[in-house]
Amino acid sequence: MNPRKTYDLPLPGGRVLRLGERTLVMGIVNVTPDSFADGGLRLDPAAAEAAAVEMEAQGVDLIDIGGESTRPGASGVSPDEELARIVPVFRRLSGRLRVPLSIDTCKAVVAQAAIDAGASIVNDISGLRYDPALGEVVARSGAGLVLMHMRGRPREMYQEARYRSVAREVAGELGASLQAALAAGVSRDRVILDPGLGFAKRAEHSYDVLAGLSDLAVLDRPLLVGASRKSFLTVATGDLAPAERDWATGAAVTAAVLLGAHIVRVHAVPEMIQVVRVADRIRMAMIAARG
């Protein structure tokens, strides 16, 4: 096991996010009625605000806010609907929290509104494949950018889950997204990559990608892993409802940390912070033991 490379990610306002010295935990706030894990619980802006404030108090490092479900089979929502859901939340939180806020969206107009209201990172599950203008928004704003691996749309993405070498293909397609971001004017040092566990991947594909996470180091960008409560976990555990998958999530998060993830994206913040802190210690001990 090699030491994890560290990165300094510039954010708007002169802020710099240090990645790699320890694993950062990104908390999820879904402002949607139909998220697979917690749909409807935080649809009200006040409830979303309270959840984000609580997450920061629990020790989260970043908070990711989304107004459109990307669960398998989900239908999209209009930009106006997405804006109506997320802008009031960002306005409530802007200036109140110390941790950076991320907007989970594929739409340039939504990203711009969120950045104007306080977001400093854009988390795009499409890897700039849905809305090319999104890269230009990020470039102009100086925001950070998460590029996730994805094929197709959530409604039919499993039809695209055909791979000969999933790890190699994910790396190649993420590399193409990175090049698209650079072509749009996004500076390389602002980009984070996400292999997209569960997105256009069967369960066996997600396990293969997670096991091969260290292979993505060739792209020389920090890695974000989102395994939290996803259905691929139930291949190992048996059929569990999303809210019952936190023990399984902890195992996947531990593997991600040991294999080099810089950020993990989770629902159960206090529990996963404990998992990450222990996994970080194990990782450091393994590196020290190798001399």
**Pairs from 108-113 (Cβ < 8 Å, separation ≥ 24):** 108/133, 108/134, 108/136, 108/137, 109/79, 109/83, 110/67, 110/79, 110/82, 110/83, 110/86, 111/137, 111/138, 111/143, 112/137, 112/141, 113/83, 113/86, 113/87
Residues 44-63, buried b or exposed e (16+ Cβ, 10 A)? ebeebbebbeebbeeebbbb
Q: Sign of torsion, CA 107 113 119 120?
A: positive
pLDDT in tens, 129-153: 999 899 999 999 999 999 999 999 8
The one catalytic residue in 107, 229, 245, 265 is 265
Beta-bridge partner residues of 152: none
In Å, how far are 87, 245, 276 from 237, measured between CA atoms?
38, 8, 21
Are 69 and 35 contacting, i.e. CB atoms less than 8 angstroms apart?
Answer: yes
Q: Is residue 232 part of a domain?
A: yes
CATH number at residue 172: 3.20.20.20
Indicate the pLDDT class of residue 198, thresholds 50, 70 and 90: very high
Over residues 27-80, the pLDDT tens digits come to 999 998 755 555 556 668 899 999 999 999 999 999 999 999 877 666 678 999
Query: Using one digit for the tens of pLDDT, what is the confidence trace for 86-99?
Result: 999 999 998 899 99
- The pLDDT score that the predictor gives to residue 77 is 87
In a domain, 1, yes or no: no
Domain membership of residue 245 (yes or no) is yes
Q: Which of 92, 230, 245, 283 is labelled catalytic?
A: 230
107 as an active site residue: the answer is no
Predicted TM-score (pTM) above 0.85: yes
The answer to whether residue 271 is domain-embedded is yes
Dihedral sign, CA of 58, 62, 63, 68?
negative
Tokens standing for 289? 């033991």
| Biggest CA pair distance of the chain | 55
* Mean pLDDT score across all residues of the chain: 94
Where residue 197 falls among pLDDT bands split at 50, 70, 90?
A: very high
In a domain, 193, yes or no: yes
Q: Summarize the confidence of residues 253-276 as an average pLDDT.
A: 98
112 found inside a domain: yes
pLDDT at residue 272 in the model: 98
Q: So what's the pLDDT on residue 256?
A: 98
In a domain, 234, yes or no: yes
Q: What is the reported pLDDT for 73?
A: 65
Catalytic site includes residue 201 = no
Report the number of distinct structural domains present in the chain: 1
2 inside domain: no
Q: Which domain holds residue 262?
A: 7-289
